[in-house]
Amino acid sequence: MRISYRCVAEDVKKIEDKDLFDPKSVYVSLTSHAETFGVEPVRVKIVTIDPFGHCVLEAFPEHFEKGYDIRPTIAAHMDMQEIHEAVRVGRLKPDGKILKDTNQLVITKAAIDPVWYLPGIAKRFHTTESNLRQQIFQETNGMYPELVTRNDLKIFLPPIGGLTIYIFGDLAAITDPTKQLAVRVHDECNGSDVFGSDICTCRPYLTHAIEVCVETAQQGGYVVVGRAGVIVYFRKEGRALGEVTKYLVYNLRKRQEGGDSAAEYFNCTQAVAGIQDVRFQALMPDALHWLGITRIDKFVSMSDMKYDAIVNSGIE
């Protein structure tokens, strides 16, 4: 979607050549990552993101010298009313490092765009690269002809949402299996997460997980022992079927015989979309492997699909 908007901007001359990404610009150098992420040995396991997407200036200097246009694909404080309430009732206590006296949370954040390595995607789903290319080509109405004409191009930038990682506590604890780590993998629910819709409980799950992450990180004294919490927020609205389909399902839920029932959500989705879920959690652990996670002590989730995907990928 962002590429489409950028194309329009270039067409109407809102972007000039002088405005394009210049790796030698002092401004670009100041945008480099604030913390060091990524673990070299696990990059072979990753097929949905670019392991070097956060450090393109350091990773590809010779390409920049040749004039290649390489953009980063991986790029605060958090203030939430539920955290204020948790402090008020005594579930959380400010420590000045992770949870400030103002009840704001100190976090490290990474935003990541999807970058698919097609041979790896095909292998993960036990299909062939040729079949995968053909299916994407057909389902996108032929928008990407190189999928079937350029088999030498192994990378595909899918027109789907990315993910954001929020880290609480000591970053070094994430890769140390002897340190306590709490994790939630959360799939976007705009209605609940942002606007407080009561038709689902997605935001309460998310805020509870954030609270668990803070508690876990605080137990280590931040610097002395080192513990951490991680929230991975995927843009997979409506089980990755999209918000339009999601609201069609909601309409069916409310009008079905017997009235609305959360227990019928899967069946209603099947009736509307022909499938219950397309999030394909087998791809999800890539973000955890990129962080270097090998062990999770507290996995805050009710999803057996997420749990199984993580364990099957080799994370304890």
Question: Could you say which of 277, 286, 295, 304 is catalytic?
Answer: 277
Q: How many helices (H) and strands (E) does the chain have?
A: 14, 9
In this structure, what token pair is assigned to residue 235?
Answer: 């843009």
Question: Could you say which of 50, 203, 279, 286 is catalytic?
Answer: 279
Q: Which residues pair with 284 in a beta bridge?
A: none
Cα–chain center distance at 117: 17
Q: Is 277 an active-site residue? A: yes
HSE-CB for 161 with a 13 A CA cutoff? 19
* Length in residues, the chain: 316
The DSSP output letter for 200 is S
Give one word for 34, left, alpha or beta, with left for phi > 0 and alpha for psi -120 to 50.
Answer: alpha
Residue indicated by tokens 């309430």:
85
Q: Is 198 an active-site residue? A: no
Residue 108, φ and ψ in degrees, nearest 5:
-115, 135
Residue burial 150-176, b: 16+ Cβ < 10 Å; e: rest: eeeeeebeeeebbbbbbbbbbbebbbb
Q: SS3 of 177, please?
A: coil
Measured over all CA atoms, what is the biggest interatomic distance in the chain, rounded to whole angstroms? 66
Catalytic residues: 277, 279
